[in-house]
Amino acid sequence: MNSEKITKAVLFASSFVILLIAGGMIFSLAEGAIPAIKSFGIKFIWTNDWNPTKGQENYGALPFIAGTILTSVVAILISLPLSFSASLFLGEYFHGTRLAKILGTMVDLLAGIPSIVYGLWGFYVLRPLLISLGLPNQGFGIFTASIILAIMIIPYATSLSTEIITMVPGELKEAAYSLGATRTEVIFSVIVPSARSGIVAGYILSFGRALGETMAVTMLIGNANRIPESLFGTGNTMASVIANQFGEADGLKLSSLIAVGLLLFLITGLINSLGKFIIKKME
C-alpha cells in the first residue's frame, strides 16, 4: 500500500470516528430524554413550569430556551461593534506593527481564559459595579450575564475576524488606493466585502460559544426557573440549569435535564447550519 492510500485511509477513519462520536452523543441524549418525552411530549418545548415536587412533577424547557437565546443575542449585539473595530485595528490599520503584535497576543490570551475565571471576575467586579449604578436584583440577571458573555466572546470574534481581514489580497487594496480611494473607502468597499463571509462565520461561531456557556452565566444570571421579565430580570439558561441541578437529579427530573441538553445540542446545530447557509448566500 503506497503512502497516498495510507493517507486516504487515515483521513477516512478519522472522519468516520467523528461521525460516530456525534451519532453516539445524539443517541445517548435521546435515550436519556425518552421518559421526559413520553411524559410531556412536544409541549415540553413551550411549557414554562418547572416543578420538581414529587407527585406533582411537571417540567418545561421554555424558560431556559428564552434565557439562552436572550443572553446570547444581547451578548453578540454588545460584542459585535467592539470586536469588529478591534479586528480592523489589528488586521488593517496597525497590521505588522509591534503594537498590533502585543495586542494580538493579549487577545489570544483572553480568548483562552477559562470561563470560570470570567465568572469570578463578573461576580466580584462587574456585579458590584452594576449594583452601584442602580441595577436591580442585587446585580444578578440577564443583563449581567450578557455583559460577561460579551466580554468572553469579544477576544474570540476579534481573533477570527483579524485572521480573515489579513488574508485579503494586497493587490486588491493597492488597486483601490491607486484609483484614489481613501483608507475608509478601501476598508468598507474592498476589505469588508472580501472578508465578509469569513467575518460572519466568526460571529456565528462566537454566538454558538455563547449559547453553550455554563459556569460564568450560572454565577451571574440569578438561576430563577422562569421566563425573564426584562433584561434586568433573573432567569436561567439551558446550560446553567443543567449545571445547577444535574448532580442531585434523578428519575423524571434527570430525564428532563437530559432533554434540555438534547434541545441545546439541536439548537446549536440548527444555528450552525443556518450560518453555513447564510455564508454560502454571501459568497
Decide if 11 is inside a domain. Answer: no
Instruction: Determine contact, residues 155/110, Cβ cutoff 8 Å.
Output: yes
Tell me if 28 is assigned to some domain. Answer: no
**Does residue 147 carry a pLDDT above 90?**
yes
Confidence of residue 1 (pLDDT cuts 50, 70, 90): low
37, pLDDT greater than 80: yes
**CATH number of residue 237's parent domain:** 1.10.3720.10
pTM: 0.86
Chain centroid to Cα 72, Å, comes to: 7
Q: How many domains does the chain have?
A: 1
- The more confidently predicted of residues 3 and 190 is 190
pLDDT of 199 > 90? The answer is: no
> Is there a domain that residue 86 lies in?
yes
Instruction: Give the model confidence (pLDDT) of 153-176 as tens digits.
Output: 999 889 888 888 888 888 888 888
Highest mean pLDDT among 29-38, 97-106, 267-276: 29-38
Q: Which residue has the higher pLDDT, 39 or 280?
A: 39
| Cell numbers for 9 | 485511509
The answer to whether residue 150 scores a pLDDT higher than 90 is yes
Domain enclosing residue 258, as ranges? 58-282
Burial class of residue 40 (count of CB atoms within 10 Å of its CB; 0-12, 13-18, 19+): buried
| The pLDDT value given to residue 283 | 62
pLDDT of res. 282: 63
At residue 4, the pLDDT reads: 79
Inside any domain, residue 79: yes
Average model confidence (pLDDT) for the chain?
Answer: 86
The answer as to whether 51 is a domain residue is: no
